[in-house]
Amino acid sequence: MKAKLKWALPGLLALMVFASGCGNSGGGAESGNGNGNSNGGATATATDGGGEAAGKTITLKFWGGVPEEAGPLDMVKAWNDANDDVKVEYVRFVNDDSGNLKLDTALVAGENIDLYVSYAKFMVEKRVQAGSALNLSQLEGYDIEGKLGEAVKAWKFEDGYYGLPTVSSQSFIWLNKDALDAAGLPLPALDWTQSDLAAYAKRLSRDTTYGYVQGTNMFSFNMDGELQNDFVKDGKSNLDTPVTRASLEAWHKMMHEDKSMPTYGEQVATKMPVDASFLKGEAAMFGAGNWIFRNANNLTDYPREFKIAFATVPRPDGARSDFRMEGGLSDVVSINPKSAYKDEAWKFLQWYADEGVTYLSKGGRIPASGQVDNSVTMVKLVEGNEQLYDLDSLKNVLFGNQETYINTVPVQLNDLRAEEMENYFLNSRSLDQTMENIVKRHNDLIKRNG
C-alpha cells in the first residue's frame, strides 16, 4: 500500500452489471447495479390523504433495489400526489444474491408484489421461466420499441417483452480534474487506449495517491469490448488473442512495475472501497459507472472540493475499429402475473418509464425512454453540485452517443476466467500459463455444454 494511504470505510456501492452499472466503471465493486448497503424490505410511501374521498384506494407494491433516498421516495411522492385512487408503496431489496433470493421466494409464495425490478438479463429470464413476469406485449398503450429503440430488442424473449428496461447504463472513467490540471494533463481523447491510461496513471501517482483504481470486476471489460461476445471461434475458445493477452499484461505492469494502481492482492485483502478512495482524493482516476453519482453528490459523507471530469473506458491497444464498451438498457421492471391490479400496475409502469425514473437521476439513473430529454437528465445528475463537475466532458462521454453492446458471457465462463486472472495478478502463475489454463478450461466447458 502507498505510504500514508488511509482507506475510508465503504460507502454505498453500486454493483453492474452492466449495469451495469453501475460500475464501477465502469465499475465499482458491485458491478454497476446501483445498489448500496441498506436494510432489505424497507418501504417508502407517500400519501396525500385524498384517496378515500374519491372512493376505494388501492396500493401497488413496487420492489426495487435502489435506496429510497436516491430517488424512489421522491418518485413515489410525485405519483401519489397526482393519483388519488392508486397509490404506490416502494419496497427496497438489496440487489445481491440474498436480496434476489428474497424477492424470488416472495414471488413464488404469492406475497403481495405488483411490480419489481430485475438488474440482469439472466434474472429476468429466470423469473419468466418461473411464471413470475407478465408478457407486456399482450398489453396496449405503450410502443416499447418506439420508445426504447433498437437496444430494447436485447430484452425480448420469443413471444414478447416481460419487462420494460427503464435505465440506460454505461461504464466510464471518473477523473480528478484538479489533479490532471496540476500534472499538466489534458482531458483524454474519446478514443484513448489502455497505454494512454497507464501513462496518465503513472504521471498522476503520488506517495499518498494512486493514479488509477477500479473494481475487480472491470479487469475484463475492455477485453470483452474487443471480443463482443465472440468467445468461441470454429467451435473452440477464442479468448487467447494478442489484444486480450496484452490487456492483461498492461494491468499487471500498472500494479507491479509502475505501482500506479493497487495490486490485486491488496485490493481484495483490504476490501478496498474504490469509490470512496477516489472521492476522498486518494486516487486520481476511477473506473466506474453512472451509479457512482449517488456518492459523488453526497457531500455530507464524501466532502470534496475538486472538480470531476469524465473519459471513456480506454480501448485495449490494437483493438478492432468497432470496439465497444459493455452497456445498454437495464433496470427491467416487470409486472407480477399474480397481481390483483394488473391494469393499474401497467398504467404506473408506463408513467415510471417515461417520467418516474427521472426522479432517480440524482442517484445516477439515466432514463432509457426516448421521451426523456438528455439535457434534463444531465441537469438532474449534477443538480446543486454543478460547480463540482466538468460539464463538457460529462455531456461528451455520458450523452455523446457512444455505442455499446450487451455482454452475454456465460456465468461459468466469467467465473473460470476470473479465477485464472486472479492467479496471474497475484504472481502465482505466468501470463502464458494463465492464458493456457483459460483456453483449456473454456474448451472443456464448450464440450460439456455440447
Q: What is the DSSP string of 49-79?
A: S-TGGGS--EEEEEEESS-GGGTHHHHHHHH
Predicted pLDDT at 436: 97
- The rounded distance, in Å, linking the Cα atoms of 435 and 78 is 53
Model confidence pLDDT, tens digit, residues 407-421: 778 888 989 999 999
- β-bridge pairing 115-118 and 236-237: unpaired
Residue from 129, 60, 427, 5 nearest 255 by CA: 427
pTM over 0.75: yes
The SS3 call for residue 179 is helix
Residue 18 C-beta-side C-alpha neighbours within 13 Å:
27
* Orientation of helix 97-108 relative to helix 121-129, angle to 10°: 20
Predicted pLDDT at 10: 32
Predicted pLDDT at 45: 54
Tell me the backbone φ, ψ of residue 213, rounded to 5 degrees. -140, 155
- β-bridge pairing 115-118 and 58-64: parallel
Cα distances (Å, whole numbers) of residue 131 to 117, 122, 338? 15, 14, 9
Classify 305 in phi/psi space as left (phi over 0), alpha (psi -120 to 50) or beta. alpha
- Number of other residues whose CB lies within 10 A of the CB of residue 246: 17
Q: What is the CATH number of domain 43-169+326-404?
A: 3.40.190.10
- β-bridge pairing 160-161 and 115-118: unpaired
Model confidence pLDDT, tens digit, residues 250-289: 999 999 999 999 999 999 999 999 999 999 999 999 999 9
Check the CA dihedral 179-185-191-195 and report its sign.
negative
- The rounded distance, in Å, linking the Cα atoms of 432 and 108 is 47
Q: Domain locations in the chain?
A: 43-169+326-404, 411-448
Predicted pLDDT at 327: 80
Q: What is the DSSP string of 1-26?
A: --TT--PPPP-----------EEEET
Q: How many separate helices (H) and strands (E) can be counted in the chain?
A: 16, 16
Using 50 as the pLDDT threshold, list the residues of the chain that sit under it.
Answer: 1-41, 47-54
Tell me the backbone φ, ψ of residue 29, rounded to 5 degrees. -70, -10
